[in-house]
Amino acid sequence: MSKLQVLLTNAYRNAYTLSKNLYTEPKIYDADGDLSKRWYVYYYYRNPVTEKLVLQPPLYMGVNRLKTKKERTEMLIINRIALHELLKKGYNPYETYKETDKRIEQQKKPAEGIEIDSQRKNYTVKEALFFALKQRKPHWKKKTAGTMVGHFNRFIEWLTINKLIDKNISELKKRDVSTFLNSLTKLQTKKQKQLREELVPVSPKTRNNFRATLSTLFAQLEEDEIIERNFITQIKINKSTPKKNKPFSKEQIIDIREYLDKNDPYLRTFIQFMSYAFLRNVEVCRLQVKDIDLASKRLYVRSKTAPLAIVPIIGELETVLRDMKLENYAPTDFVITRFEKPANWDIDENNKTNYFSKKFKLIKRILGYSDDYSLYSVRHTAATNIYNSLLAEGKSEEGALMHLMSITRHRSKAGLKNYLREIGATLPKDYSDMYTIDF
């Protein structure tokens, strides 16, 4: 195939992927002109793991501070057009800005040295899977890519051991992949292997994650007409019950706070970001000095549900931030680091979160708390505390949910209710007087 044909083929694939597969055109929600309600721009983007179009967080951009329909409409039109341009250029809400820029730059480079044979029909299992990985990997976040490549390598190893790797891809059957998924076991340490400890099957969640990775790759092969259909979608998803962390009691929070004040005050600072701003631990680690706007009391947070979420800085957190003297540091310095002050801490996010998780795990062991608790227990405790306070103020359940939703940034009332039920925040009041018999 000529170089011109290669470039045209790549251009077509990129255009098809960006404009038809990945997202919907942004639209405006104006609440039928009701100025008392929130107006916004919304759109759907395809989740890289589930491959389903997912509604993304609404974009407000300050539009609801405007007082007339004309002003709001004009601003929303501008925001919609700007967002659409970003999407057409390759913006991806599941990537960081750095990852998106790098991917777009790679796509601009000429496809020299790449042989594309559009007429070829026969691929070995190995050739087909490596081709699919090469097509998909540039669209994955760094953390996602590490996990999914690990799944890929385990599958390749299994195919090699079972002498399927060099067969024609059309000969690989659904039962082969099902056998692989059902045979997955947890990786053993060197010591466990020496002791010949019994292999332990992976959890249903892990097995489902392997399935999702393979489905992504086989979907690519189907799209490129290397296989007729992605049969992975017909493999059953195992029921998975994720482990939920308990919230702390008021007494436990007091014990933790007193211990940290004496022994690790910086870890308490980390916890205050999680509890006062309802941030995930990775979101705390992503914060840079430039993301803190003390003048307007806002945090700009890069989260898993939005490319840039705006979080209010409440009084308690403002005190913490002012004590950090952020004006003395570079805008790109990370706010929370292992150096116990803002600094350039440019390492993998997993290593950052693990650093603070290990510190908290040590505190749990010292205070005698079980593995039912984690750093996320702090957020659960904060949510429970605020919800009960709102009810104590006389708000109805509906009113309390609506207020809390704006604080926790849940995207739906149903989602928030489910979360509160899971953490035990919505237990019924004592109903002992309802019994008419003794047991």
Model pLDDT, residue 14: 46
- Pull the structure tokens for residue 300: 């700009």
- Pull the structure tokens for residue 275: 């509890």
Q: Is the pLDDT of residue 247 over 50?
A: yes
Range list of H helices, 224-329? 250-263, 265-276, 281-286, 315-323
Dihedrals phi, psi of 254, to nearest 5 degrees: -65, -45
Structural contact between residues 335 and 326, judged by C-beta atoms closer than 8 angstroms:
yes
Q: Which of 48-57, 301-310, 369-378 has the highest mean pLDDT?
A: 369-378
Task: Give pLDDT tens digits for 160-182.
Answer: 999 999 999 999 999 999 999 99
Q: Looking at domain 125-234, does it have CATH number 1.10.150?
A: yes
Task: Give pLDDT tens digits for 389-416.
Answer: 999 999 998 999 999 998 998 888 888 9
Angle between helical axes of 376-392 and 397-408 (0-180°, round to 10): 140
CATH fold group of domain 250-422: hpI Integrase; Chain A (1.10.443)
Model pLDDT, residue 305: 65
Structural contact between residues 373 and 245, judged by C-beta atoms closer than 8 angstroms:
yes
Mean pLDDT value of segment 151-166: 94
Q: Is the pLDDT of residue 115 over 50?
A: no
Mean pLDDT value of segment 119-145: 85
Q: Is the pLDDT of residue 2 over 60?
A: no
Model pLDDT, residue 412: 86
Mean pLDDT value of segment 74-90: 85
Model pLDDT, residue 21: 66
Model pLDDT, residue 113: 40
Q: Is the pLDDT of residue 97 over 80?
A: no
Dihedrals phi, psi of 288, to nearest 5 degrees: -115, 160
Model pLDDT, residue 9: 44
Q: Is the pLDDT of residue 205 over 60?
A: yes
Model pLDDT, residue 48: 75
Residue 142's pLDDT band (cuts 50, 70, 90) = confident
Mean pLDDT value of segment 184-208: 87
Mean pLDDT value of segment 305-317: 86
Residue with tokens 């916004």: 40
Structural contact between residues 360 and 377, judged by C-beta atoms closer than 8 angstroms:
no
Angle between helical axes of 413-422 and 397-408 (0-180°, round to 10): 90
Residue 220 to residues 126, 135, 152, 157, 233: CA-CA distances in angstroms? Answer: 14, 8, 14, 21, 13
Residue 1's pLDDT band (cuts 50, 70, 90) = very low
Q: Is the pLDDT of residue 369 over 80?
A: yes
Mean pLDDT taken over the chain: 86
Paired sense of beta strands 40-42 and 27-29, if any: antiparallel
Q: Is the pLDDT of residue 111 over 80?
A: no
Q: Which of 70-74, 340-344, 345-349 has the highest mean pLDDT?
A: 340-344
Domain boundaries, the chain: 3-108, 125-234, 250-422
Residue 8's pLDDT band (cuts 50, 70, 90) = very low
Q: Between 241 and 211, whose confidence is greater?
A: 211
Q: Is the pLDDT of residue 5 over 50?
A: no
Rg (CA), the chain: 26
The Cα–Cα gap between 391 and 256 comes to: 26
- Residue type at position 200: V
Sign of CA dihedral 264, 295, 346, 137: positive
Q: Whole-angstrom distance between the N-terminal and C-terminal Cα of the chain?
A: 82
What lies within 8 Å, CB to CB, of 375 at 6+ separation is 271, 274, 281, 356, 357, 360
Model pLDDT, residue 19: 42
